[in-house]
Amino acid sequence: MMDVALPANMHQGLSQEGIARRGWAYSAEEAKAVIGKSEVALIDLREKRERERYGKIPGGLHLPYHDLQENVSSNGVLSTLAATGKILLFYCAFGERSTMAVQAAQDAGLTSAPHIEGGIDAWKKVDGVLDDGSGSPVHDPAVGT
């Protein structure tokens, strides 16, 4: 998906830094402090194979990026969650897809929709917990977790 995400991001003039300047980003450390709170809906935008290979942040809702437009529509899953007052906290592998998701959510009127800057890659670097879907921790020797 990076071959889609990065050029689209550049075309739209979006950047993780620009999203952060608008207050629409959480650092991985900040995310660790809010994940699991009842007012936060964690949204995993990665593909199924990415989740299987690299693990996932526990408690996340899997809504792949390719379904984003449908999910932010007025009757979509994300709009429904936002209507309950939830913060929609997006993440992906490195933060590119989630940056675009933040902008799409904002464009759809979902104003409480930040992302984890740097994605799951940044999450791993701050020793964020991952599991493989069965509740078992994932250990990534390349990152040291």
Give the pLDDT score at 87. Answer: 97
Is residue 111 one of the residues assigned to a domain?
Answer: yes
Concatenated DSSP letters of 43-75: EE-S-HHHHHHH-B-TT-EE--GGGHHHHHSTT
Backbone angles phi, psi at 126, to 5 degrees: -105, 20
Give the model's pLDDT for residue 118: 96
8 within a domain of the structure (yes/no): yes
Distance between CA atoms of residues 12 and 145, nearest Å = 35
* pLDDT the model gives residue 10: 44
More confident residue, 105 or 5: 105
Q: Tell me, what CATH number does 100's domain have?
A: 3.40.250.10
- Please check the confidence at residue 144 and state whether its pLDDT lies above 90: no
The tally of domains found in the chain comes to 1
Q: How many CB atoms within 10 Å of residue 134?
A: 5
pLDDT of residue 142: 46
Residue 138 placed within a domain: no
pLDDT per residue as tens digits for the range 105-133? 999 999 999 999 999 999 999 999 998 76
For residue range 51-94, list pLDDT tens digits in order: 999 999 999 999 999 999 999 999 999 999 999 999 999 999 99
- The verdict on residue 108 lying in a domain is yes
Tell me the pLDDT tens digit for each residue of 9-62: 444 556 888 888 889 999 999 999 999 999 999 999 999 999 999 999 999 999
Domain carrying residue 8: 2-125
